Amino acid sequence: MLLSQVEYEKMLVFSDDEKEKVVYGGVSAKMPETADFAFLLGGPEYSNESRAKTCADLYKAGKVKYIIASGKPERDSEFGKKAECDILADYLVSFGVPKEVIIPERQALTTVENMIFSSVEMQRKIHLCDIRAITVVTSYEHLKRSMALAKAFLPKSIKVYGYPSTILDETPSTWRKSEIFRHSVSEETRLLWWLAYNKVIDDIEF
């Protein structure tokens, strides 16, 4: 079934199994191929350390050359109250990533803007014609929408990989046990439907 063809009212009462297929279907935790950049997306306070640790692991494995830490909203963290991108950068450095490979992106307020403004920062570092691949790093339940938006906004010549952070309660086998992630998966389902229905992203089969 294609997500854009589902009536809105029916989508709102999807079962947990249907939501899981929409949000997690096709998302892999396998380490991706080497990319020129990682787009590391900021998020809720509880998620940023995990996302940064995952991205640092990619860098130390030689899977990315540069990391764009993206996000404007201020969050609380062990480093104090800072913009998401600065919190992510602090975590990256604490996990052993050199400061010179981290590029802060200080404007994005949404996932769409993560892609737009990260693309601008990427272009300023390396011309788009010379970029072969990027890897989106974000929370597991947020990854499918983020990758779809990256593919929608980036040149078709750039390969888009994804790599999810691994907070225990957000995995496909555990999200139903957490009220936080039950809400998050429901919201991701709704947003993916809206984007597919309006042809912003490629349609989703589930």
Mean pLDDT score of the chain, rounded to an integer? 95
CATH class of the 29-169 domain in this structure = alpha beta
User: What pLDDT does residue 167 have?
Assistant: 77
Q: What is the pLDDT of residue 74?
A: 84
Sketch the domain layout of the chain as residue ranges.
29-169
pLDDT tens for residues 144-165?
Answer: 999 999 999 999 999 999 999 9
User: Does the pLDDT value for residue 52 go beyond 90?
Assistant: yes
Q: Which amino acid is at 58?
A: L
Q: What is the pLDDT of residue 38?
A: 98
Q: Which two tokens stand for residue 202?
A: 């490629």
On the question of pLDDT at 169 being above 90, the answer is no
- Scored b (16 or more CB within 10 A) or e, 2-31 reads ebbebeeeebeebeeebbbbbbbeebeeee
**How does pLDDT run across 55-95, given as a tens digit for each residue?**
999 999 999 999 999 999 888 778 888 999 999 999 999 99
